[in-house]
Structure 1
Amino acid sequence: MNTARDTIEEGADAAPVEMLAALFGANGWTFEQVSEEEVCGEVPGSWTTYQVRGIWRIEDKVLQLLCLPDIRVPDSKKRDAYELMAMVNEQLWLGHFDLWSQGGVMLYRHGLMLGDDGMLSLEMAQMAIESAVSECDRFYPAFQFVLWGDKNPRQALDAALVDAAGEA
């Protein structure tokens, strides 16, 4: 199997969308380059396959990375979901969880500010994808406990973190 290093020259930087497309392709992940400013791929995680989108804002030199764990929050659970998101976000150093107002779709979002050249290294791209998937995997059970397990947000977070801490 090809690795991203086989596709992209060692130490080389590329335009953010091109780098993410190369990374998706090298890992054998399904992806589509939607435009010069957007790429969308599917990345397997521990609990589910995540849709990962990279959206490049050239004027700001910011790559917005969205990771969608295919969680839709029904209106009846929004209050608990928002409370859980607030508790989860307090624990994150990078990125945050959010809920789109239309459709109730849960997502993880992180913005990478790139330098004046607007280029992305392979290492940065890999770390960004791995971090997004890792955070979604880490808190996926908590969101499921609130949405489908009838736990309150504190119980859900405590149960998810104990379960994760118990795995080795």
Structure 2
Amino acid sequence: MRTGHDDSEREDAAPVDMLASLFEARGWPCEFVSDDEIQGEIQGSWANYQIRCVWRTEDHVLQILCLPDIRVAEDKKAAVYEVMALINEQVWIGHFDMWSNGSVLLYRHALMLGDDGLLSLGQAQAAIEAAVDECDRFYPAFQFILWGDKSPAEALASALVDAAGEA
């Protein structure tokens, strides 16, 4: 951690510092990429997810990216784009996307923070948990397309039935 402050005593902190405190408290590995970016790894239900958080000071926006380490082959892109559209209709916060460079699947969400640019522990926890939860919720749908050759509608229906059946 970069600061000598005890972050557990503060209610709000600079976004990247608060996220570092959260990751440290949860025992999740993380590292600072720069003063305005942190990356870490979280074990989800289906896979390890790389989390990248980028703070844009000028806009007071914290962007959270969750990458489930899924690369999409060229012949599967159309089906993955279709299932992403179906999934994004059901996601209330954030959305799934695919980077054109490398065809990497990701979940992306941004938080607009106030003029003070501070993030609370509750906000940090909720944002990271939402990213991981959404990746866990829809990971099977992408796998059904990539490995099971299901149609986008079948993949989503199967994934949601499987998720509903878990306790």
Shorter-chain TM range is: over 0.9
Q: Equivalent residue for 2:104?
A: 105
The match for 2:3 is none
The CA RMSD measured in Å over matched residues stands at 0.9
Which position in structure 2 is the counterpart of 1:166? 165
**Stretches (4+) displaced over 6 A:** none
User: Residues 9-46 of structure 1: CA distance to partner in whole angstroms, max 9, x if unpaired?
Assistant: 35610000001111111111111111111000001100
> Following the alignment from structure 1 to structure 2, what is the Cα–Cα distance between the partners of residues 9 and 30?
18
Moved more, 9-18 or 158-167: 9-18
How far residue 86 of structure 1 moved from its aligned partner, in angstroms, is 0.2
The residue identity in structure 2 corresponding to 1:25 is E
Task: Using the aligned pairs only, state the percent identity.
Answer: 67
* Total equivalences in the alignment: 162
Shift of 1:8: 2.8
- CA distance in structure 2 between the partners assigned to 1:11 and 1:145 by the alignment: 44
Normalised by the size of structure 2, how large is the TM-score?
A: 0.95
Which residues in structure 2 correspond to 1:1-168 (within 5 Å)? 8-10=7-9, 12-168=11-167
**Secondary structure, counterpart of 1:107 in structure 2:** strand
User: 1:49 and 1:25 mapped to 2: Cα distance?
Assistant: 17
Greater shift in the superposed pair: 123-132 or 20-29: 20-29
What whole-Å deviation, never above 9, does each CA across 1:100-121 have from its counterpart, x for those lacking one? 0010000000000001100000
Work out whether residues 61 and 115 of structure 1, in 8 Å CA contact, stay in contact via their aligned partners in 2.
yes
